[in-house]
Chains A and B, each alone.
Chain A
Amino acid sequence: MNTQLRPESGENTRLRLVDCDIHPAQRTAGALYPYLERRWVDHLESFGTHIRQALVGQLAYPRMSDGGMRVDAKPEDGPAGSSLELMREQHLDPLGIEIGHLIALGRGGMEERNPELSAAMARAVNDWQLAEWLEPEPRLRGGIVVPQDVPEKAVAEIERHADDPRFVQVIMSTRPNETIGARKYWPIYRAAEAAGLPVGLHPAGYSSGKPSTGGGWPSFYFQEHYTFVPGSQALVTSLVIEGVLEAFPRLKVAIIEGGFSWAPALGWRMDRHFDTFRKEVPHLKMKPSEYMKRHFWWATQPMEEPKNGRHVEEVIDWIGWDRILYSSDYPHWDYDNPNFIFKFPLDPERRAAVFGGNARALYGHA
């Protein structure tokens, strides 16, 4: 018999689902051209894009299936994630998603080293989100993609959209040129805080040329897939220890697709060293775990599935049930259906929080 942990449908509609991780894809290589000045179209035609990794236009690792996509999510006329119609048909409508957050990871400026091109691409991908996704589909919300390594341009891009409620957060590369907590990026955090916009951090493969683990390039995709964990840990430790969260006490950060089960252990470890290392970091006024609990929210997907599902419950007890955000990762292969992700029963209050209430509170949705 099938192991059916919960009724398949019906409950979702009452949950008022908010999905915090949906990936829109550009249908063609020239999809952003209508949103770029002619000068940059000519540049891209002449020189190409994505020069922060060695294999231009290639994945360095073979992905689980179909370039990392759900096998059933490819429309006839483009890559998975490029069709709003199919996204509605197989995700938004059947699951009853009320609000879905776009995380535009494809070409968009985060990965460019050419500063002016980076800024132009960020503008373009944000205008593309508006025109091709947010305007035709009111359930969707955008994330302001910023050229983080040109901070003044990133700030301008945040300010350009800050008053538009269709954009709900700031998306920056999780592999910028410097550590994410470096002073260079503080103007971005200042602008995000001033605009009341959370910063969404979603690890995205192996851009920037640095190996995806501290130990070098992995040998297998299985091994590479896990690197979102140490990569995300590096983001949290950097933001905490470099003082960003002391400097910007109202900044909110969502860790998306980086996992969360490791958060308690990281907090314990940093706290343990805090008393002996604090002279090195006198700018920190609280224990590291206190910054974690004040500033971070955590998206669910991909969630660990221990044999005893209650282990995950204990982890969330530490993090806080008001800090967990449902995310599907549509249309990627490790897509999560909300009916199946928790392998232990949740009471109605927690279900309502995780599947929508927490996101509504964080992002200010009605």
Chain B
Amino acid sequence: MTRHVVAEASDFADREIRRVEAGGKAIALVRVDGAFFALLDRCPHGGAALSGGRLAHQVESSGPGDYRICRRDEMLRCPWHGWEYDLKTGQSWSDPKSTRTRAFAAENVAGDELVKGPYVAETIPVTVEGDYVVVELP
């Protein structure tokens, strides 16, 4: 495990998405509400750099005509085809078939009960040490 300083925390705005490099790998580094997240900067579906994307939320529905925004800014949305990856786990949540199935259930579905999509982006441990953002690479 090697540790790499990739940014200065004071220089990193809330909701910023930045491409950084460490150990020869491109990483999409994201800050949300003080927490940092790092994903390998390549979408496993189509190969885009995820750092060119935007933060995304999910929308829950108990049926036609009803919707609620949830999990605000907890996902990174690919700049090309729009696949969305959980910042914490790298798990894709963009399987439309599964989310549509759930949308017709009568109960309020918690985010972690939604069926996960087929792609997983590689996550990288990230910490803040003093003033610096540090990622750990195997």
Question: Interface residues, chain A, CB within 8 Å of chain B?
Answer: 1-4, 8, 64-65, 70-73, 222, 333-337, 339-341
Partner pick for B120 among A3, A64, A333, CB 8 A cutoff: A3
CB closest chain-B residue, reference A66: B79
- Provide 8 A-B residue pairs closer than 8 Å at the C-beta atoms, listed in order of the A residue: A2-B40, A64-B82, A70-B80, A71-B80, A72-B52, A72-B53, A333-B82, A335-B46
Partner pick for A72 among B45, B46, B79, B120, CB 8 A cutoff: B79
Q: How far is the CA of A4 from the CA of B119 in the complex (A)?
A: 11
Query: Which residues of B sit under 8 angstroms from A340, Cβ to Cβ?
Result: 45-47
Assuming A2-B122, A72-B48, A340-B46, what are 9 further A-B pairs, CB within 8 angstroms? A2-B42, A2-B44, A71-B54, A72-B49, A333-B81, A334-B80, A334-B81, A335-B46, A337-B46
Q: How far is the CA of A2 from the CA of B48 in the complex (A)?
A: 13
Q: How far is the CA of A3 from the CA of B53 in the complex (A)?
A: 20
Contact B82 A337, beta carbon cutoff 8 Å: no
Chain B 7-50 interface 0/1 with A at a Cβ cutoff of 8 Å (1 = within): 00000000000000000000000000000000010101111110
Q: How far is the CA of A239 from the CA of B96 in the complex (A)?
A: 35
CB closest chain-A residue, reference B53: A71
Chain A facing B: main interface SS: loop
Most central of B45, B46, B120 by chain A CB within 10 Å? B46
Q: How far is the CA of A161 from the CA of B94 in the complex (A)?
A: 46
Q: How far is the CA of A65 from the CA of B54 in the complex (A)?
A: 10
B75: Cβ under 8 A from any A Cβ? no
Contact B121 A2, beta carbon cutoff 8 Å: yes
Q: How far is the CA of A4 from the CA of B42 in the complex (A)?
A: 10
Chain B 45-64 interface 0/1 with A at a Cβ cutoff of 8 Å (1 = within): 11111001110000000000
Q: How far is the CB of B94 from chain A (nearest CB, A)?
A: 12
Q: How far is the CA of A192 from the CA of B47 in the complex (A)?
A: 37
Q: How far is the CB of A84 from chain B (nearest CB, A)?
A: 19
Contact A337 B48, beta carbon cutoff 8 Å: yes
Q: How far is the CB of B47 from chain A (nearest CB, A)?
A: 4
Q: How far is the CB of B26 from chain A (nearest CB, A)?
A: 11
Query: Which residues of B sit under 8 angstroms from A1, Cβ to Cβ?
Result: 120, 122
CB closest chain-B residue, reference A329: B80
Query: Which residues of B sit under 8 angstroms from A222, Cβ to Cβ?
Result: 96
Q: How far is the CB of B133 from chain A (nearest CB, A)?
A: 22
Q: How far is the CB of B87 from chain A (nearest CB, A)?
A: 16
